[in-house]
Amino acid sequence: MVSERPGASVGIHQLPQLPAVIERAKEACAQSGHAVADHFAEMRNMVGLGSGARRELEDWALSRYACYLVIQNVDPSKPLVALGQT
């Protein structure tokens, strides 16, 4: 697995539609004949909050191929995303 923060490097880590983008990328992976589990691993991480409490955060580990599929399924309005789609 290559990336543990699929959106952070292209500035999309806070987009509410990121889970939908991941799902579209998983569908594309399956349709291309690849095993989704080989490229996408869902993880749960505990993160600290300012109050000292902790909460569970959804995260993904992606292969290089999965990163490519995610970029292909993101809105190209961000310059780095548009560059990745060319």
For 42-84, the pLDDT digits (tens) are 888 888 888 888 888 888 899 999 988 988 888 767 766 666 6
Per-residue model confidence as pLDDT tens digits over 20-38: 889 999 999 999 999 999 9
**Does some domain include residue 1?**
no
Q: What is the DSSP letter of 64?
A: H
**Does some domain include residue 2?**
no
**Does some domain include residue 3?**
no
Total count of domains within the chain: 1
How high is the pLDDT of residue 35? 97
Cβ(10)–Cβ(78) below 8 Å: yes
Q: Is the pTM above the cut of 0.85?
A: no
**Does some domain include residue 73?**
yes
Nearest to 21 by CA among 12, 9, 33, 30: 12
| Residue 64 structural domain | 8-84
